[in-house]
Amino acid sequence: MSRFYYHPELNHSTTLALSREESLHLKVNRIQPDNEILLSDGNGNLYSGIFKGFISQIAHVEVIGRIKKEVNAYQLFVWQPLLKNWSRLDWLIEKLVEIGVTDIGIFYSERCTHDHISITKVNRLRKIIIEASKQSGRIVFPTLKLAENWYDFLAQCRGTHLNTIIGDFGSSESITDYLKNLNLSSLQIVVGPEGDFNDDEKEQLQSLPHARFLKFSNQILRSETATLYASIVCITSLESKHENCH
């Protein structure tokens, strides 16, 4: 897909101002006034527009009309605990967007080094999602969910009503074997923190509807590596089943 610019609120036949970041991107790309550009609201809508020029370094665009509506072919909700190294979390979020994860959740458990995430870091993650979506040509941006505490995390997991895959290195059943016999278009992945879940947490996770503890790999993986690996395996399965149905 050709490069597009992001604005959260797009309507037919209106003139709008892009954000400072998007205006800078448009300037770097040397787009000239009266040229047509593409715009997306991140909700699956792709619009055409005419770049009218800069006013105080802010790009103004006349929206012409919607040219495409897209929906996700599957749903993969991935829950990642807070990591000790914030830059590793940034990296993971970027990669999850690039490979096609549809929903990303951040939660805290007892063995996490951090017990909260600041609004500044949350805003940074949202920017990473926008930029990674644009880079990979996704006009349906992944959602970002935050769990306030462990019990809120459990409640949100239940609220998705999805089959839940929980990483467990000691499980005798592998994620690949489990997915072979599963004919679903939606899944939820939960990965443990760097010190793994404690026994009480595992028991509570086991009580989730349609929860299954599965071994991701024969190697011991870091938390963020396990998340990325399991996500790739699940997306491969979900995409394959979607293609076979069409």
| Over residues 81-88, mean pLDDT | 95
For residue 86, the surrounding DSSP H or E stretch is helix 86-99
pLDDT averaged over every residue in the chain: 93
pLDDT digits (tens, 9 = 90+) for 185-223: 999 999 999 889 999 999 999 999 899 999 999 999 999
Domains defined along the chain, listed by start:
4-69 (2.40.240.20), 75-244 (3.40.1280.10)
Evaluate the CA torsion angle 83, 136, 124, 25 in order and state its sign.
positive
What pLDDT does residue 1 have? 52
Task: Yes or no: say if 169 and 128 are a contact pair by the CB < 8 Å rule.
Answer: no
Residue 246 has pLDDT above 60, yes or no: no
C-alpha to C-alpha distances, 58 to 33, 55, 63, 78, nearest whole angstrom: 13, 5, 16, 36
The enclosing H or E element of 92 equals helix 86-99
What pLDDT score does 184 carry? 85
pLDDT in tens, 93-111: 999 999 999 999 999 999 9
Q: Is the pLDDT of residue 115 over 90?
A: no
Q: How confident is the model at residue 38 (pLDDT cuts 50, 70, 90)?
A: very high
**Which pTM value belongs to this model?**
0.92
